[in-house]
Chains A and B, each alone.
Chain A
Amino acid sequence: MQVKGIAHVYGDDIDTDRIIPGKYTKTLNVQDMAAHVLEDLDPEFRSRVKVGDILVGGNNFGCGSSREQAPLALKAAGVSVVIAKSFARIFYRNAINIGLPLIEIPNHKIQNQEEISVELETGRVNNLTANNEYFGAKMPEVMIQILNSGGLAAYLKENKSYTL
């Protein structure tokens, strides 16, 4: 699957409190979560982001709390994929588990508002504005299967157990 969108670039150590503040996590409605996504980092993000856009971070994206509301809010706001130099551990699992693709590229130099296209199967990332390409780190097979199922709930509904 290929996605194409505009990059919204932020720095290192974007924590889950800034992705979605704790006070907005107590809901099952993902649109309520999306309404406050990245609010404490960039209050304008919510109004700027278009469906299919790509969120780009530096090192340790998603550190802090285990709240799955963080990737849920990003996905519900229309973010199609998150690219970062590295991801915090719990966020990485959570995003894949709810069907939000992530691509880890330690040396990316993607700039704000550049147009990016991503081939999810291969992890190939094309920067259409800067005219260069990157290849993301390969995910473990079990994570690829979970992502292909659309998330862990669908994966376990189908398979009943994990296969490595």
Chain B
Amino acid sequence: MNMGQTVAEKILSRHSGRDVFAGDLTIVDVDGVMASDTTAPLTIRAFQDMGGEKVWDSSKVTFVIDHASPPPNELIANLHALMREFANEQNIKLYDVGEGICHQLMIEKKHVKPGELILGADSHTCTYGALGAFSTGVGSTDLAGVLLTGKTWLKVPESIKIELSGTLSEGISAKDLILYLVGQLGIDGANYKSIEFTGEAIEQLTLDSRMTIANMAIEMGAKAGLVSTIGLSLDYPFETIEPDLDAVYDLVYQFDVSKLEPQISIPHSPDEVRNISEVIGVPIQQAFLGSCTNGRLVDLHEAAAILKGKKIHSEVRMLIAPASKDVFLQALKDGTVEDLTEAGATFLTSGCGPCVGTHLGVPGNNETVISSSNRNFRGRMGNRNSNVYLASPAVVAYSALLGKIADPRFVLEEEVVCR
């Protein structure tokens, strides 16, 4: 019997050597793996506990030092040294301090391609769904299992289809769109499932914007967030994998994005999403632009368009961590770094920075942060007595300028009037 397949079922079938469908348990061949400095040390130990000597294929393994980078203390410095030692022994590619955020590097340096199956010991590994790869986060020991065998076991997920029609308005970005969807589906709205993002609103998006969308699929609990590759432009040829017409979906959502206004996630969960009009005017003390969600060149450009020639509010610290050294270099060359620095922002090392709450921008008690990152769970940025709001780069920049949460569409209107 031939049955239609979703994109997830197609990719997992190719990696299983047989046709598999939602609910099937399967053993899959893995195309690549990644671990960061939060997870690689435990992975190395688990690999050794398994009796591992050589990893199955060193060309398919990537290590990245980005979560606590450069190391804030000797304990972490020694964990970084452990990663370097293992990577050297095993001939594994390691991106060291300052090279960038793991998920940015995996795509930027072409460690992942459309249609592949990638596992990463970081929950935002789902980001590679931006280019149509089935990628999912696992823990350190699961990753060690792949280092040993080149395989893992998976349950083939049911799929949810999200069809997006219309066009995003001026000043509205992919971040507003994904925050809206997280608010609609909820923090476990796609638990164990694969999401397919499709429709004309998706087809118009650049790779950077698609990465922002796929990145936050985990904020709905999804195993993978597959963005349709229709309309995607890459600098190498690739195959577009489309679902069969009779593929079976657990749920289908349809949204028109045309009238979307800027979205904000309020403390203390990413799915507590509001229209910006409901939270305008909340005073902020810190603004963070960066993370695997929104630390790319387009995001820095959005902020610079608002802040160029102006000064951020005197009571706000604005911290920027470019997603990679390449992003930083491009922003340096095109004047963006200068514009943002003159406006009062401080540039941090490319990496996860304040998002994970280890160092480089832990907020004080009762302080409020507006952040372009992906999570605002209590204590996420390192202090349980602080509040974190999540928003687009434009909202972060305009709020930094005014010292309170502000709607960046007003700055666009101002400019129209001036002309």
Contacts and interface: CB of A to CB of B under 8 A. Distances in A.
A18 B42 contact: no
B188 A86 contact: yes
Most chain B beta-carbon neighbours within 10 Å: one of A64, A69, A94: A64
Contacts of B375: 15, 17, 64-65
Contacts of B137: 66, 90
A26 B79 contact: yes
Nearest to B27: A162
A28 to B, nearest CB: 6
A17 B380 CA distance: 6
B187 A63 contact: yes
A63 B221 contact: yes
Nearest to A99: B141
A161 B42 CA distance: 20
A90 B356 CA distance: 18
A153 B141 contact: yes
Interface string B20-54: 00000111000000000111011001100111000
Nearest to A27: B75
Interface in B124-150: 125, 137-142, 144-145, 148-149
A162 B382 CA distance: 38
Interface residues of A, number: 44
Contacts of B138: 66, 90, 93-94
A96 to B, nearest CB: 9
Interface-central residue, A13, A39, A59, by most chain B CB under 10 Å: A13
A66 B121 contact: yes
B21 to A, nearest CB: 15
A91 to B, nearest CB: 8
Contact of A161 (B45, B76, B120, B151): B151
Contacts of A160: 148-149
Interface in B239-293: 269
A18 B187 contact: no
Nearest to B28: A162
Which among B79, B120, B141, B377 has the highest number of chain A CB atoms within 10 Å?
Answer: B141
A81 interface: no
B179 to A, nearest CB: 16
A68 interface: yes
A98 B149 CA distance: 18
A32 to B, nearest CB: 9
A100 B209 CA distance: 38
Contacts of A22: 38, 67, 356-358, 380, 382
B325 to A, nearest CB: 22
Q: Is the interface of A mostly helix, strand, loop or mixed?
A: loop
Interface string B351-374: 000001111001000000000000
B409 interface: no
A23 interface: yes
Contact of B41 (A28, A60, A86, A93): A28
A125 B68 CA distance: 41
Contact of B123 (A41, A86, A90, A153): A90
A89 interface: yes
B9 interface: no
A64 B123 contact: yes
Contacts of A152: 46, 50, 141-142, 144-145
Contacts of A130: none
Contacts of B144: 152-153
Contact of B141 (A17, A28, A151): A151
A1 interface: no
B192 A89 contact: yes
B379 interface: yes
Contacts of A126: none
Given A60-B187, A93-B138, A153-B50, A66 B39 contact: yes
Contacts of A39: 379, 384
Contact of B357 (A13, A21, A59): A21
A162 B121 contact: no
B206 interface: no
Interface string B42-83: 100110011100000000000000011000000110010000
B145 A26 contact: no
Given A88-B221, A156-B148, A18 B377 contact: yes
Given A26-B37, A59-B188, 4 more contacts: A17-B380, A26-B41, A28-B45, A64-B375
Interface of A: 13, 15, 17-18, 21-23, 25-28, 39-41, 59-60, 63-69, 72, 86, 88-90, 93-94, 97-98, 140, 142, 151-154, 156-157, 160-162, 164
Question: Which 3 interchain pairs have the tightest Cβ spacing?
Answer: A40-B379, A94-B139, A68-B139
7 contacts: A18-B377, A27-B79, A64-B375, A66-B123, A93-B142, A94-B139, A164-B25
